[in-house]
Amino acid sequence: MKFFVDTADVDAIRELNDLGFVDGVTTNPSLIKKSGRDILEVTKEICDMVDGPVSAEVVALDYDSMIKEGRKLATIADNVVIKLPLTLDGLKACKTLSGEGHKINVTLCFSVNQAILAAKAGASFISPFIGRLDDINLDGVDLIEDIRTVYDNYGFETEILAASIRTVNHISECAKIGADVITAPPAVIKAMANHVLTDKGLAQFVKDAEEAGIKIV
Ligand code: E4P
């Protein structure tokens, strides 16, 4: 399972990259806004730091403008993945840009049918949003499972990039289902290391080491 970090915060990416946890990065206009940086400049910095795909999203809504923006984003670095919204214009742009050899991440996917169209349009990644489905009382993890089944039924090679991840449980559920990639905020990835029994056990070991005067170096 590959781990992408869902942020445009370069310091947070660097911290996780140094731990060996970063296989790629995803950004979107909201994350770029949060960073306060210019999209071209911050995407370049991330691409130079990370040895893996870095998704940068277009902001245009019509096909012609998406093509122009996608081609421009692709000039930033070889590891840029052009992120396009799941609309008919976005799917048409996906077909054109993937035909030119660019990698495409189709985003804002909320149904199996949308995921099928993205695969047929040549997407390298499909991004189903788990958390936003949970927000409206649907089950985001179920969608990942359904897309896995359908893609496997037909041998679609598009990678399932589980997005809008809010909890560590989302990540373990996606791992059990066989999502190819998860993208999560840095805090959620770091929280995977936490367990209350680890904390409790460590506190006891520290106490016993002090009482026994154990010294190693
Ligand atoms: C994915 O590519 C998106 O950037 C992201 O996962 C959206 O997450 P959110 O629903 O928490 O904003």
Indicate which atom in ligand 1 lies nearest the CA of residue 31: 4
Q: What are the counts of helices (DSSP H) followed by strands (DSSP E) for the chain?
A: 11, 8
Alpha carbon distances (Å) from 32 to 110, 150, 195, 215: 22, 33, 32, 48
Per-residue pLDDT tens over the stretch 100-139: 999 999 999 999 999 999 999 999 999 999 999 999 999 9
Q: Ligand 1 centre and the CA of 217: distance in Å?
A: 46
Please indicate, yes or no, if residue 200 is contained in any of the structural domains.
no
Compute, in angstroms, the gap from residue 205 CA to the centroid of ligand 1. 39
Residue 94 structural domain:
2-191
Residue 109 maps to a domain = yes
Query: Residue with the nearest Cα to atom 9 of ligand 1?
Result: 164
Is residue 8 within 8 Å of 165, Cβ to Cβ? no
Question: Token pair of 214, please?
Answer: 């154990």
120 in a structural domain: yes
Q: Please indicate, yes or no, if residue 207 is contained in any of the structural domains.
A: no
Tell me: the pLDDT tens digits for 24-46? 999 999 999 999 999 999 999 99
Does the annotation count 83 as an active-site position?
A: yes
Query: How many Å lie between the centroid of ligand 1 and the Cα of residue 200?
Result: 33
pLDDT at position 87 is 98
Q: Answer whether residue 103 is part of any domain.
A: yes
How much distance in Å is there from the Cα of 204 to the middle of ligand 1? 39
Report the nearest atom of ligand 1 relative to the CA of 30.
12
Question: CA–CA distance from 47 to each of 23, 106, 195 (Å)?
Answer: 12, 19, 33
In a domain, 204, yes or no: no
Q: How many domains does the chain have?
A: 1
Q: What is the CATH number of the domain that holds 141?
A: 3.20.20.70
What global pTM score does this model have?
0.96
Residues with CB under 6 A from ligand 1: 6, 26, 28, 107, 127, 129, 131-132, 163-164, 183
Domain assignment present for residue 216? The answer is no
- In a domain, residue 77? The reply is yes
Instruction: Choose one of 28, 34, 174, 181 to mutate for the ligand 1 pocket test, by most ligand atoms within 8 angstroms of C-beta.
Output: 28
Q: Per residue in 200-216, pLDDT tens?
A: 999 999 999 999 999 99
* Residue among 2, 34, 83, 103 flagged as catalytic: 83
Q: What is the mean pLDDT of the chain?
A: 98
- Do residues 25 and 4 make contact, with C-beta atoms less than 8 angstroms apart? yes
Longest Cα–Cα distance of the chain, Å, equals 72
Contacts of 76 (CB under 8 A, 6+ apart): 40, 43, 44, 47, 56
* Complex ipTM value: 0.97
How crowded is residue 185: how many other Cβ atoms within 10 Å of its Cβ? Answer: 17
